[in-house]
Structure 1
Amino acid sequence: MTSTKETAAKKAFAMTLIAFILFILIGIHSFQLSPRATEPNSWIHKPETPTVYITQYQNNPSGRKNTTEKNILDGCYHVYLDVGSNIGVQIRKLYEPKLYVGASILPIFDDYFGDVEERLNLNKTISDGWTVCAVGFEPNSHHSEYLKQIESSYQKCGWKVKMMTETAVSDRNGITKFYSDMAFQNLEWGGGVLPPGVINIAQPASSEYKNVSLIRLSEFIRDVVGTRRLPSNAGGSKPPRVVMKMDIEGSEVDVMNDLIFSGALQHINLAAVEWHGRLQQLSERKSVSNRLQQALQLLSSVSEVMRYSGRHFAFKVLDLDDESFWGSRFEMPKC
């Protein structure tokens, strides 16, 4: 009898959480349906240049329209998405943790992807793929050369890493400008694709920076990450997992909203998001930033509560902003 009551209580709690989440999400979505969304000064930021489809991952990375095209993440057991890479320090922590002793992200990597020996497939448990693959997204063209050095060096070591340089994630595909914060002493870590009227530290666009390709992250997650072919002989200590770090200077308001309503969030197991409500110029964006944080926390709670019923989705949101070693440029590995 007690067990039945406990089960009923858990179900009732879960339903209450779900109802509250729906209430918050409807509130978020109502801003998009508001007439203000069509006005010139709308809180929804749109690229200044006409939208075009970006070809950086071959127009159709999932191969849905052309089955001869290969998914760039085929063979990847786990996936790490470094959304807002700056100079790629977090990806280097994933593959070279001994250089970053004490970094707070390291236990997360161990928990979700296994220890470094397993991540690097040193025991050859996977013969037709990789234990973990990483994709980085960075719009600042000042960092492109160094990020490509990381990509090249890691690929020589047999580590599957793709750096999407001069590329920002968004809720749409297109081309836009890069807006630096001009804090060069901090590697412009506050730069992004939102203009001064939207973000309070953004400076006017300069021709010194290359235009930025916008990739709709929900499509990339749904059509690339979510459809990847797993290695045939994967036998790791962990189930296949997708971890996403997001630090995109205010654009998380647009991107996380799209991940939720498009269904792409179902493919993410852990999201570590840095929120930038303090940078938002518009009250609507500040409000949505707060609502999104609440919604994701509640979704994380529902996933935890529903474990007893054999949950289908395993999602967790983590308040983690590991800026340790942020300016480090250690020598590249020689393999």
Structure 2
Amino acid sequence: MLPIRPIRRKFVYLATVAILIVYCLLVFRPGMHTYSCSTVYHNGFNDTSMRRCRYVYLDLGSNKGVQIRKLYEPWLYPEGKILQFYDKIFGKVRYHSRRDVCTFGFEANPRHMKRLKYVEKRYKSYDINVTFFNNAVSNISSESVTIYSDTNFDIDWGSGIHSSLIDNKTNMTIYEVQTIDIVKFFAENIVPLKPEYVFAKMDIEGSEFIVLPHMLKGGLLCDHTISSMVLEMHDRVREEFQSDLSFATLKERLKDQACTPTTIHDLDDETYTGDVSFEPCEKESETYNTF
């Protein structure tokens, strides 16, 4: 066989490089992939990277479930403020629609549960592990507590154990709901999963003044248990809970622990409060930027 002349060798080399460049532009260019709940790629990823419940998302105060939908279908919520945390912690949606993230959502308002259980069923049909509980997050389990809620479903954002968050008292509904001890739940249901990282969102309409001290006492606000959290503090009802807790005092108490504290961010993401028009796992995307 005759040796390839230098000029021909150079041509083959340049042609090969050109083909590789074009391939990378087509395959890895942001927005070129189609993403949906059924999207699963295995390009070099080993089984451990897809371990069930490698990560846990704890959604305290799920409301209609919009924040959880942002986690698994971020292409539907491009302006969501919480997306930056999801992308940083769980990685951008690229290969498996975050099937290695197990979500536990808690919502006290029973009016939302039909919708939430529908979302749960849709996700589980695509092997996405989401579970909702109709309980008021608290420091004790199985205690009946009164929940005050705005009667209009579309603006039902102020339900909680104190009626002061409901501006229109003539348009208020009262429910009796069972509480759940979040520290006990964590020990019994999340610790056995041995997740690499736990991220929490807390928006529980004032009950944080009861729950946060309980979580501190129970050791949940350490980075080896709950690594990071976004929190909305409802200052207007602090006095009703007879609490002196604020972001400043919380940060000081976190420092007093014998562990590295949970990183807590002040965030209330109220984008897409009415949700989007697409049902869970219904809409694919060809424009979601994954890089």
Structure 1: state its 5+ residue gaps.
1-73, 122-129, 231-239, 304-310
Tell me which amino acid in the other structure corresponds to 1:189.
W
Residue 294 (1) aligns with residue 248 (2): yes
Q: In the TM superposition, what is the alpha-carbon distance from 1:326 to its structure 2 partner?
A: 1.0
Q: Is the 8 A contact 2:150 2:171 kept in 1?
A: no
Question: What is the match of residue 322 of structure 1?
Answer: 269
Q: Root-mean-square deviation (CA), in Å?
A: 2.8
Question: What is the match of residue 199 of structure 2?
Answer: 243
Greater Cα shift, 317-326 or 177-186: 177-186
Deviations 1:127-166 (A, max 9, x none): xxx511111111111111111110000001110000113x
Q: In the TM superposition, what is the alpha-carbon distance from 1:182 to its structure 2 partner?
A: 4.0
- Picking from 215, 220, 223, the partner of 1:259 is 215
Q: Is the 8 A contact 2:108 2:147 kept in 1?
A: yes
Q: Is the 8 A contact 2:57 2:104 kept in 1?
A: yes
Question: What is the match of residue 232 of structure 2?
Answer: 274
Q: In the TM superposition, what is the alpha-carbon distance from 1:200 to its structure 2 partner?
A: 4.8
Deviations 1:181-210 (A, max 9, x none): 445441x11001x133xx45385997x665
- Picking from 127, 136, 142, the partner of 1:168 is 136
Tell me which amino acid in the other structure corresponds to 2:111.
H
Structure 2: state its 5+ residue gaps.
1-50, 284-291
**How many residues matched?**
228
Tell me which amino acid in the other structure corresponds to 1:179.
Y
TM-score by length of 1: 0.61
> Would the alpha carbon gap of residues 80 and 273 (structure 1) be closer, same or farther in structure 2, given more than 3 Å must change?
same
Residue 113 (1) aligns with residue 67 (2): no
Q: Is the 8 A contact 1:93 1:100 kept in 2?
A: yes
Q: Is the 8 A contact 1:84 1:138 kept in 2?
A: yes
Q: In the TM superposition, what is the alpha-carbon distance from 1:297 to its structure 2 partner?
A: 2.5
C-alpha distance in structure 2 between counterparts of 1:248 and 1:261, whole Å:
19
Give 3-state SS (helix, strand or coil) of 1:227's partner.
Answer: helix
Residue 228 (1) aligns with residue 182 (2): no
Q: In the TM superposition, what is the alpha-carbon distance from 1:113 to its structure 2 partner?
A: 1.0
C-alpha distance in structure 2 between counterparts of 1:283 and 1:145, whole Å:
30
Percent identity of paired positions between Structure 1 and Structure 2: 34
> Would the alpha carbon gap of residues 283 and 150 (structure 1) be closer, same or farther in structure 2, given more than 3 Å must change?
closer
Greater radius of gyration (CA): 2
Q: In the TM superposition, what is the alpha-carbon distance from 1:249 to its structure 2 partner?
A: 0.7
> Would the alpha carbon gap of residues 289 and 155 (structure 1) be closer, same or farther in structure 2, given more than 3 Å must change?
same
> Would the alpha carbon gap of residues 313 and 117 (structure 1) be closer, same or farther in structure 2, given more than 3 Å must change?
farther
Q: Is the 8 A contact 1:170 1:215 kept in 2?
A: yes
Q: In the TM superposition, what is the alpha-carbon distance from 1:282 to its structure 2 partner?
A: 3.0
Q: In the TM superposition, what is the alpha-carbon distance from 1:319 to its structure 2 partner?
A: 0.9
